[in-house]
A = this chain, B = another copy of it.
Amino acid sequence: MVEIIDGGVTTPQGFKAAGVHSGVKYRSLDLGLLYSEVPAAAFCGFTSNNVKAAPVQVMMEENSPTLSAVVVNSGNANALTGRRGIEDAISMKQSVATELNLDPVQVGVMSTGLIGRFMDMHKIRYGISRASRELSCGRDADNQIAEAIMTTDTIKKECAARVRLSDGTLVYIGAISKGSGMIEPCMKVLHGTTLSLVTTDAKLSPDFKQVWQEILDDSMNMVSVDGDQSTNDTCILLANGMSNGGYADKDPEFIGALRTVMTRIARTIAMDGEGATKLIEVQVEGAETKEGARKVVKTIINSPLVKSAIFGSDPNYGRIMMAVGNSGVNFNMNEIRLTIKGGDMEVPILDSGAPIFQEERAVEVVRMAMDNKEVTILVDLAVGNESAVGWGCDLTYDYVRINAEYAT
């Protein structure tokens, strides 16, 4: 049984971390370093955006099956930086390798922040040198690296779990993530700007790639804050095997635990979407295909009209159906079911293709359900057996404010 515990990326055995202020940002921590005492099997997912940031390009080209360290900076995405950006990303790896006495190919690199500005490598190198000396494990180290990768995030995205494998081995999983805006990741393994670092002391074979993709598809890739996929999204899972058990690749307990951790992280990202005041969970059932179910989820959580309505607890549920219709996915109009849940209320909306509530007084019930920090939209398309779940947030004045003055 998976047990969620207080912890972070250094909770699994053999991982150390640090977060420092390099000066790329004016004040806050802006450079993080993660280190594994032994080379860890690495499973990386990268953005599907065709404009890929320099660190993503470098990582995808090297495609190293193992990594010993990952360096992350915030404040500058090193994206849209041409040849110089590539050189800077490579240089970041080399600096870490020199400091920690590693082969540069064993060092991962991730960046997040403003697009289109060259990196100040003087500051970055200073930060790497300092972080290398400050590597440690424990909650302080967890907090520092988590803080160093944040941009417009207001809450730390962190989760840790403990799970006993079928062979009796006790393994740990730790995860941190950042991401608040420009969020609709579609990360392909080997192939967010959400950046995530997931550590485990379980032992995994290269074949775990497929399972990792499935977990990403059901967790991180089902989050959307604004439908804008970043140039930098990267998610790295490091498995260093220090728990000393056998391969956990096919262990249902391990897979379940990793899935739980990633789902929690995904929900936290949605909840902390730029300007968000509410988490929106969309559950689609009764679809003909899994892909179709996912498409309906995404169309609903990306609709600015649905998002604004939920912000204002405006019971304009017609907009949800508008989004369902726009998805292009097949459904049965006469049997489709729409339910809105919030708090302890669960309000069915449709009957035979028309809303149950027509009177203002009755509509008030829907408003009450929507007036919660967490609103769930449940759609049964009534044509099949496939389902999907995804997470988004409301569209608020603050989203506009944050993004109208980001570069300044």
Contacts and interface: CB of A to CB of B under 8 A. Distances in A.
Contact of A51 (B115, B322, B405): B322
B228 A403 contact: no
Given A354-B116, A397-B397, A231 B321 contact: yes
Nearest to A315: B407
Number of identical protomers: 2
| Most B-side CB within 10 Å, residue of A182, A314, A319 | A319
A332 B272 CA distance: 35
A84 interface: yes
B400 A396 contact: yes
A322 B231 contact: yes
B309 A406 contact: yes
A35 interface: no
Given A80-B354, A83-B352, A114-B318, 19 more contacts: A49-B325, A50-B328, A51-B321, A51-B322, A51-B326, A80-B318, A82-B353, A114-B316, A116-B317, A227-B227, A227-B304, A228-B303, A228-B319, A229-B322, A304-B399, A309-B406, A311-B400, A314-B408, A397-B401
Contacts of A143: none
Contacts of A206: none
Interface of A: 49-52, 77, 79-85, 114-118, 181-182, 226-231, 302-305, 308-309, 311-312, 314-319, 321-329, 331, 333-334, 350, 352-355, 358, 363, 395-397, 399-408
Given A117-B355, A317-B116, A182 B400 contact: no
B228 A323 contact: yes
Contact of A311 (B79, B314, B319, B404): B404
Given A50-B328, A85-B354, A314-B407, A228 B117 contact: no
